[in-house]
Each structure stands twice: as C-alpha cells, then as structure tokens.
Amino acid sequence: MIAVRDCLSVAQPAAGGAAVSSRPNGTLLNGAEVTRLRILSYNVQTGMRTRHFGDYLIRGWQHLVPHPDRPRNIERVADLLSEFDLVGLQEVDAGSLRSGFVNQTQFMSERAGFPYWHDQTNRRIGRFARHSNGLLSRFRPLRVSEHELPGMIPGRGALHICLGGPGEELHVLLMHLSLGQRTRMRQLDYVAGLVRELPHVVVMGDLNCRTDSRELRHLLDTTSLREPVSDLFTYPSWSPRRNIDHILVSDTLAVRRSEVVDYPVSDHLPIMMEVELPRSLVLVP
C-alpha cells in the first residue's frame, strides 16, 4: 500500500531553534556551496531514557502514559539534530497521551530549525500512543510516499522522500523493521524492489538486524546499496555491541565520514554519515 503526497509539512522555526539560511540556487547554505550532506538516523524511543535492560520492565508503563522527563529528552534530541541536513527518526510519537499530545517530529523540526518535516504513523493504540517514523529536511522534497511494509502483524512502514531538481533526484527511505527474521526478509525484498533502478539512494533506520544477516546481505547483493562501515555498534546505548541501526547509500554517493554519535538519550545511539553529492545533483530549498 502506497500513499503519495506532494510535499512535506512546512515548519515554522521555534524560539531558540537553529536559524537556517536560504539556498536561492539550491546549493548555498550560510553563503557556502553545499557539496556534502550530513545525515543522521536515530531511534529516539519517544523520549524515554533507558540505562539498562531492567528499565524495559520498570519503565514499561511510559510507553502509554506521560512522564516529565520525556519533553526534556526530546528537547535534547532536537539540539543534536540542528547539526544535520537530513534526519530520520524512529519511534517518535505523532501526538497522543504519552507525548502530551505533542507531535514529536514537528516539535523537533521547529526547535532544530528544519523547514520541512513529515511523519508516518504506522500503529495507533487509541489515544495512548501513535507509533511513527519522522523525516526532517533542510531541502524541499519533490514527492513523499508512505509504504506499508509486508508482515503478519501490520504496523511497519517505510517513508520515502525524493529530493533534487530537474535532471537528477536523491531518494531517501526511512524505516523501522520487524523483530522476526522471516518478516524482515520480506520487508527488505520489498525495499529492494523500490530502489533497484534508482541512481542516488539513501536507506536508513532501525533495521533490527546486523550487516552480516541474511536479509541485509540480500538487500545489498541485489541493489547498488552499500554500507561503507559495517561495525558501528548502536545498541544498547549503555553498552553498544549490536549494529542494528544503519545508513546505506548507493555507489553514486561518496561517503566521507560515518560513525556512531555518543548521545545516549534513548536505548539506541544515533548513527551519522557525511556524503559528497554528485555535481549534477542539486538540492532545492
């Protein structure tokens, strides 16, 4: 199932948010030519702070009801996001009881000074929770698509935005995959079908599998996607030893930097990548 929208929501910068300069020719930010794109992917666990596995049991109630630490943690995440050009967020709340009916993607986009944002709600639990993915961009998207990923239990999706101008486009897919390997194989096979013929692609998110897993190897082997650094451990944030968060890029994008960011607000650590854009690829404000 695919829902297509023409553009992202436009955010009004909030007080205290980072100022974003316009790019009148699609290549300028703060007067400097943009040749590199700074990307971040972060599973923020709706602003819940987890310090050890016991917190999953002790703090489990926070998945459905508000907690005073949640807004402060989301503000901390937003302060980190202000350093990037394109951000993919997993486990954000789209405005329910547990978040104080605040759309967390919108809030963070405004605080961090992003002019464009979009969220994809994949699972609703009444008024208590709205499980979502969120994308923040400093560039105007040409198109936005929401894909429902295959699975026995509904509630997993991929958010797809297309950036660029006349001639060439950058396709960005954000997702949070299922826990079961068989389901992940189906989901990544679906994603492979979406990106196989596209020249410039970024796929990111909490994929819930390692680089050497059968399902992720299938995606890399059947597309032009690659992961330049495969031992970036992001989970659990207090003692990282699993690389289940990923940023994958097509071989047309030159990667200049890729690393885990030491910012343990969630049970995951964020992962960042800096890519060099082809000269023919112009991102439009």
The string of pLDDT tens digits covering residues 105-147 is 999 999 999 999 999 999 888 888 899 999 999 999 999 999 9
| pTM of the model as a whole | 0.86
Q: What percent of the chain stands above pLDDT 70?
A: 82
Q: What is the pLDDT of residue 54?
A: 56
CATH placement of domain 2-12+33-276: 3.60.10.10
Taking all residues of the chain, what is their mean pLDDT, rounded to a whole number? 86
Q: Which residue has the tokens 């990307």?
A: 39
pLDDT on residue 63: 57
pLDDT tens-digit readout, 183-212: 999 999 999 999 999 999 999 999 999 999
pLDDT of residue 53: 58
The domains of the chain are located at 2-12+33-276
Structure tokens at 223: 């597309």
Model pLDDT, residue 69: 85
Burial class (CB in 10 A: 0-12, 13-18, 19+), 66: middle
pLDDT for 41-73, tens place per residue?
999 998 877 665 555 465 654 556 667 788 999
HSE, side-chain direction, 13 A CA sphere, residue 160: 20
In contact, 51 and 45? CB cutoff 8 Å = no
Compute the distance between CA of residue 118 and CA of residue 205 in angstroms, rounded to an integer.
15
